[in-house]
Amino acid sequence: MPRTYPAPRLGENVCMTTVSVGLGPISEAELVAVARAGAPIELSAESLSAIAASRSIVESLADDVEPHYGISTGFGALATKHIPPDRRAQLQRSLVRSHAAGSGPEIEAEVVRALMLLRLSTLATGRTGIRVQTAQTLAGLLNARITPVLREFGSLGCSGDLAPLAHVALALMGEGEVRDAGGRLQPAAEALAAAGIEPVTLAEKEGLALINGTDGMLGQLLLACTDLDLLLRTADLTAAMSIEALLGTDRVFAADLQALRPQPGQAVAAANMRALLAASPIVASHAGPDCTYVQDAYSMRCAPQVAGAARDTLAHARRVAGYELASAVDNPVVTLDGRVESNGNFHGAPVGYVLDFLAIPAADLASMSERRTDRMLDVARSRGLSAFLTDDAGVDSGHMIAQYTQAAIVSELKRLAVPASVDSIPSSAMQEDHVSMGWSAARKLRRSVDGLTQVLAIELLSAARALDLRLPLRPGPATGAVLDALRETVPGPGPDRYLAPEIEAAVEFVRSGRAVEVADKALAEPLR
């Protein structure tokens, strides 16, 4: 059984206006609003017309003597078998029931809601041949906050996220398990009845239309992009606090030095560092000609280079996600000129690659953060701080084991950075002989995001204690404001005490976006 982590809940300030699902793509912000905050949705009038138009094409082909995949044939390796009209409703039910074969721990509600919204967005394009009432029922589940129960294992990321999406389709049929708006586990039939939603009896093509998409992996990519956007700003903040605590210099972040290497993300990170360290009495205290330190260690001096490269990786991932949001992934698909054609757009390689790619900077950012923390704890390298930031070294151990926790997480993140998308296991009697494993890449990236959150939180916690130990010197306005805000829930230096709750408080301080929010309020311009 794999280790499970809490669902990341970063940056809760989301818009709660109604999200219109129509012919155009939804945005990352809209997805986060629906997935995390339960924002209501509605299908646009244009999308309802497009859905109805494509459905009429599917119905016209249902009685055709020529076989049409997913309408009058079996699926996958059974695509050559013709299905008579009186058994096609059973065909769709059987498809969903057999494919709802997930196993393992339950998937987080926000992932399920993201997946549901993205599938609805594809249905709204009118390229799938689904009926209007089926699309409206899916929208009804989202608005009633009825969340089908999905499981960790079942998707190979090719032919889409089949098993996860099939569990959603099963709930539309009034079968399987769901969680209601209050999080209570109950049979789908009971939850739908309580919400006044009529279960769907699937018609031709609808089973395929509901399960043949990359929505699970794409939803997790978009949630991760939002989370990493916040964590990159947090990484600049914790690096600045550590640099102050270690009596480092801000001179290396000068704009002219950074411009010598015009990487766009690096320029943003360095600008953040300059802003965070501006007017810092600690930095000013050793900025004169009497300072004998020539240059800082790489984990301090090169922070913009690493955080900048991570930003550029994130920008690439968002471009790929944008292409996917503008896509209508189904097989077969109803084309604009009225054909129903098989295709391979359900293959998850584009999404799987960037999911894997993002796990690399997540691990590297965490690794650099842990190195700065370790430096603050080492009396030989901390430039005058007490050993392990203790109150009474020897009697106390200070933050010694907090760094162990960081190290354990960093080691895990390095393992999670090994790509899932290079693997492939043939399935469906070799009809599906190459798969993307994009769902697996998405699942491990979520664990990476959570791990990076914890590592940065421990650095922030340790840097805050180190800054307190530098008194009467004070940090800069922004980092000082963050220190003061943390002290509202976590006390300052003193004899050893139960440390785990303080770490969790720091994790929530980071995860909620509160740390960056406090820094932003103290700056002329917010961190980017």
Cβ partners under 8 Å of residue 196, min gap 6 = none
Q: Which two tokens stand for residue 423?
A: 């693997």
Quick one: three-class SS letters along 182-215? CCCEEEHHHHHHHCCCCCCCCCCCHHHHHHCCCH
Q: How far is CA 466 from CA 112, 250, 463, in A?
A: 41, 18, 5
Where do the H-state alpha helices sit in 64-176? 88-99, 109-123, 132-143, 162-172
- Compute and round to an integer the Cα radius of gyration of the chain: 26
CB 41 within 8 A of CB 143: yes
The maximal CA–CA distance of the chain, rounded, in angstroms, is: 91
Amino acid letter, 310:
A
Residue 432 has φ and ψ, to the nearest 5°, of: -105, 75
CB 190 within 8 A of CB 196: no
Tokens 């090719």 found at: 158
β pairing state of 333-334 and 340-341: antiparallel
Residue 151 has φ and ψ, to the nearest 5°, of: -120, 160
Q: From CA 107, how far away is CA 109, in angstroms rounded?
A: 6
Catalytic residue among 5, 69, 323, 498: 69
Q: Which two tokens stand for residue 180?
A: 């209601």
C-alpha closest to that of 58 among 72, 46, 47: 72
Tokens 């986060």 found at: 32
Q: From CA 369, how far away is CA 385, in angstroms rounded?
A: 18
Amino acid letter, 476:
G
Q: How far is CA 42 from CA 132, 224, 264, in A?
A: 13, 25, 38
Q: From CA 73, how far away is CA 301, in angstroms rounded?
A: 62
- With residue 174 as reference, give the H or E element that holds it: none
Cβ partners under 8 Å of residue 113, min gap 6 = 34, 35, 36, 38, 142, 147
C-alpha closest to that of 438 among 166, 156, 107, 150: 156
Q: From CA 370, how far away is CA 378, in angstroms rounded?
A: 12
Catalytic: 323?
no
Q: Indicate which residues carry an active-site annotation.
A: 69
